[in-house]
Chains A and B, each alone.
Chain A
Amino acid sequence: MAHVDLGSTPLIASMQKIGLALIGVGAIGLGAAYALHGQERFFADYLLGFWYFAGISVTMVFFSALQYLARAGWSASIRRIAENFTGFVPYIGIALIPIVINMLGHHSIYEWSHESAASDPILIKKAAYLNPTFFIVRLGLYALLWIGMVKYIVGNSVKQDTAGSDITPTKRNWKRSAPWVLVFAITITFASFDLLMSLEPHWFSTIWGVYAFAGHFAASLAIITLTLIALYKRGLMKQYITLEHFHDLGKLMFAFSVFWTYIAFSQYFIIWYANLPEETIYFDVRTSNGWELFGLLLVLFHFVLPFILLLRQDVKRKMAVLTVAAIVILISHFIDLVWIIMPAVSKVVGGTHMSANMMFGWSEFTGVVFFAGVFLFLAAKNYQKRSAVAVNDPLLNESLEYSS
């Protein structure tokens, strides 16, 4: 089948323009945040935006690898949408540089990098893992492994487009997607430990990696769904998209909103029941000074609304409902990260009691806007480089004919 070139369509052109505009607005915003709110809050906002879209773009590679791992037929015609959203992955290493600079600087958002950590009885025991050198080595390793994963999985998928009847590239992905998924599982877990959980270095949660993954996967599915709706509404790729694809993406969004809830509640439940001060402190600072509002909004946006919106069978075939649900999930992912990152940075110790000041305003949007721009701009570039559909995939026909 002929390649589907969407590179010169108005949709991709405006995606690129919006991307550039967001980069500009976000950069100005981040600059203003630095100037007006100081470096600590600036780096927190930067980390918020970075992790939101870095996590999503890495999870997009995982989505593709997962389809290969399961030899999934249903997704063959829409898999390239996820693959095109991995454009940001090769630049993650560069985007990590400010975080490293912050960590090396004076009074960073990472408490364990302060000089006072050497006299902290808990942090001194964690110093073998939480020290600047090892931190930088690990971040570099994640960035490299993620590039490798994109080059391999997405690379083979693109190679298949021009390989004719020879399905060696697809076969390679079928074989090697399993180890790459393992690499993804380990790297996303430890990256979420390093970048987010270590903001609260005295605290720990062993389910943290799954929690981070669940949020990213739900958000990735929401972005895939929104893109698919945009393409479908404009009649692009129309012969490659069926209502069945929307139905299945709806099911996955529903499933992973509930999965996130399951993990988030497990984390909360175990800490709540054990009632140990060193563990409850995390929820203690996040349920006072107005942060409890974010916790409640999180329950509403990450569980209640997606659950109610997507429960019925027939609504998963309605674009309007899917659009609302996808946007709700993207908002919930933002609330989730704000709730994790900002209280860790605004924490204050008063006497024996620790609490977090409310720290939420316009500047929390700047990092997300900036990286949304980077994410969209680099994704649009991918549409200009390659076919928007894996036209030569051996399972393509199955994807067009299946019914869910």
Chain B
Amino acid sequence: MSKSTIGVVGEFTDVNALTAAVAKVTDAGYQRWDVYTPYPVHGLDKTMKIKRSYLTYISFAGLLGGITTALGLQWWTGAVDYPLNIGGKQLFAWQFSVPIDFELSILGTALMTVMGLFHLCRLPTWYNKYQDDESFKKATDDTFVIAIDADDDRFSADNAQQFLRQLGAQNVHIVHAS
């Protein structure tokens, strides 16, 4: 029984050739594929037409949660559950609640942003399915790698390999599960 196919990878050494190839792969309509680079390549996300993440909405939910907690906590503890007259001050007023509202809305936003980011990046992930491939290992050093996943609807091992070779990729090969 042949080992199951994970995908097809191809190597690039020039960043401009890579960007041109990435644009073509995007245009070809592949959905499940990725680029692995040794350092961040500016503009690559735009070339790949990666959609804007919904992280900001997660952050905003964190803000609403934080400010609601802050207002609720100050009002309920101060004016409802245990009203305590301190120097004749009001039991609750929006004015004095602002510093806590401010801090807790920042805390809520920050925590939800970090957790949302982990969720959206699927972290923690302890492995990558390509990790045992030699090309992929080179992507941590001096090579750019385009990998087209086998679970893409359009994937066929022959077509994908031919396509990557046409784009100028070196050492194009199929990656099997180990």
**A and B: interacting chains:** yes
Contacts of A403 in B (CB 8 A): 42-43
Measured in the bound complex, the distance between the Cα atoms of B42 and A367 in whole Å is: 49
At the interface, yes or no: A203 with Cβ under 8 Å from chain B? no
Instruction: Enumerate B66-104 residues with CB–CB distance to A below 8 Å.
Output: 89, 95-96, 98-99
Q: Which of B42, B52, B56, B95 contacts A269 (CB 8 A)?
A: B95
Question: Which A residue's beta carbon lies closest to that of B95?
Answer: A272
Measured in the bound complex, the distance between the Cα atoms of B95 and A269 in whole Å is: 7
Contacts of A269 in B (CB 8 A): 95-96, 98-99
Measured in the bound complex, the distance between the Cα atoms of B42 and A314 in whole Å is: 18
Instruction: Enumerate A252-277 residues with CB–CB distance to B below 8 Å.
Output: 265, 268-269, 272-273
Instruction: Enumerate A370-404 residues with CB–CB distance to B below 8 Å.
Output: 403
Question: Which B residue's beta carbon lies closest to that of A265?
Answer: B98
Q: How many residues of B contact A (CB 8 A)?
A: 9
Question: Which B residue's beta carbon lies closest to that of A314?
Answer: B52
Q: Which of A273, A312, A313 contacts B95 (CB 8 A)?
A: A273
Measured in the bound complex, the distance between the Cα atoms of B95 and A268 in whole Å is: 9
Measured in the bound complex, the distance between the Cα atoms of B43 and A198 in whole Å is: 53
Q: Which of B42, B43, B52, B96 contacts A273 (CB 8 A)?
A: B96
In which size bucket is the chain A interface?
Answer: under 10
- B113: min CB distance to chain A, Å: 13
Contacts of B96 in A (CB 8 A): 269, 272-273
Contacts of B99 in A (CB 8 A): 269
Contacts of B56 in A (CB 8 A): 312-313
Contacts of B52 in A (CB 8 A): 314
Measured in the bound complex, the distance between the Cα atoms of B99 and A26 in whole Å is: 43
**A interface, over-half SS:** helix
Measured in the bound complex, the distance between the Cα atoms of B165 and A401 in whole Å is: 32
Contacts of A265 in B (CB 8 A): 98
Measured in the bound complex, the distance between the Cα atoms of B98 and A272 in whole Å is: 12
Measured in the bound complex, the distance between the Cα atoms of B52 and A312 in whole Å is: 12
Contacts of B98 in A (CB 8 A): 265, 269
Contacts of B89 in A (CB 8 A): 273
Question: Which A residue's beta carbon lies closest to that of B99?
Answer: A269
Measured in the bound complex, the distance between the Cα atoms of B95 and A265 in whole Å is: 9
Measured in the bound complex, the distance between the Cα atoms of B98 and A268 in whole Å is: 11
Question: Which A residue's beta carbon lies closest to that of B93?
Answer: A272
Measured in the bound complex, the distance between the Cα atoms of B99 and A114 in whole Å is: 41
Measured in the bound complex, the distance between the Cα atoms of B96 and A210 in whole Å is: 22
Contacts of A312 in B (CB 8 A): 56
Measured in the bound complex, the distance between the Cα atoms of B102 and A269 in whole Å is: 13
Question: Which A residue's beta carbon lies closest to that of B43?
Answer: A403
- A283: min CB distance to chain B, Å: 11
- A62: min CB distance to chain B, Å: 27
Measured in the bound complex, the distance between the Cα atoms of B52 and A265 in whole Å is: 34
Produce 1/0 per residue, A93-118, CB < 8 A to B: 00000000000000000000000000
- A276: min CB distance to chain B, Å: 13
- B35: min CB distance to chain A, Å: 18
Contacts of B95 in A (CB 8 A): 268-269, 272-273
Contacts of A313 in B (CB 8 A): 56
Produce 1/0 per residue, A293-324, CB < 8 A to B: 00000000000000000001110000000000
Produce 1/0 per residue, B97-133, CB < 8 A to A: 0110000000000000000000000000000000000
Measured in the bound complex, the distance between the Cα atoms of B42 and A273 in whole Å is: 50
Measured in the bound complex, the distance between the Cα atoms of B52 and A34 in whole Å is: 57
Measured in the bound complex, the distance between the Cα atoms of B89 and A309 in whole Å is: 36
Measured in the bound complex, the distance between the Cα atoms of B59 and A312 in whole Å is: 12
Question: Which B residue's beta carbon lies closest to that of A403?
Answer: B42
Measured in the bound complex, the distance between the Cα atoms of B98 and A273 in whole Å is: 12
Question: Which B residue's beta carbon lies closest to that of A402?
Answer: B42
Contacts of A272 in B (CB 8 A): 95-96
- A308: min CB distance to chain B, Å: 12
Measured in the bound complex, the distance between the Cα atoms of B56 and A272 in whole Å is: 35
- B12: min CB distance to chain A, Å: 22
Measured in the bound complex, the distance between the Cα atoms of B31 and A339 in whole Å is: 57
Which 4 pairs between the two chains have the least Cβ-Cβ distance? A272-B95, A273-B96, A403-B42, A269-B95
Chain B residues proximal to chain A, CB less than 8 Å: 42-43, 52, 56, 89, 95-96, 98-99
Given contacts A272-B96, A403-B42, 14 further A-B contacts (CB under 8 A): A265-B98, A268-B95, A269-B95, A269-B96, A269-B98, A269-B99, A272-B95, A273-B89, A273-B95, A273-B96, A312-B56, A313-B56, A314-B52, A403-B43
Chain A residues proximal to chain B, CB less than 8 Å: 265, 268-269, 272-273, 312-314, 403
Q: List 16 A-B contacts (CB under 8 A).
A: A265-B98, A268-B95, A269-B95, A269-B96, A269-B98, A269-B99, A272-B95, A272-B96, A273-B89, A273-B95, A273-B96, A312-B56, A313-B56, A314-B52, A403-B42, A403-B43
